[in-house]
Amino acid sequence: MSVDFHIELDHSEGALLRLLGTIERRGFALLNLAADKPDEESYVVRLRLAGERDPLVLCRQLERLVEVRLVKVVPPPPEPPPPPGFQATWL
């Protein structure tokens, strides 16, 4: 099962390493990471993780890190509707 996270954290030495270390120790594998630095004091990190454990428990654990300002589990995008099936019409 994969899950997406949106995380905002303070820009401080080792903050990203502590975040990733916590994720790994909690049994999640990193599938994708994108990080932006909107200003001098913060990071915005988007992660896709794989794991069998409850992502909400990981969310609470990440919130306890000193540098973390916000953690959100991002719902998966809706699946596109299936293509229309073949329909035969007779004249």
| CATH number, residue 26 | 3.30.70.260
Q: How many domains does the chain have?
A: 1
Residue 83 falls inside a structural domain: no
Q: According to the model, what pLDDT value does residue 14 have?
A: 93
Considering the domain boundaries, does residue 15 fall inside one? Answer: yes
Q: What is the pLDDT of residues 34-76, one digit of tens each?
A: 999 999 899 999 999 999 999 999 999 999 999 999 999 998 7
- Residue 53 placed within a domain: yes
- Rounded to whole angstroms, the Cα distance separating 68 from 64 reads 7
- Give the domain range for residue 68: 2-74
Residue among 12, 20, 19 at smallest CA distance from 37: 12
Residue 89 lies in a domain: no
31 in a structural domain: yes
User: Could you tell me if residue 79 is inside a domain?
Assistant: no
Over 80: is that where the pLDDT of 88 sits? no
Domain membership of residue 46 (yes or no) is: yes
Computed over every residue of the chain, the mean pLDDT equals: 91
pTM comes to 0.79
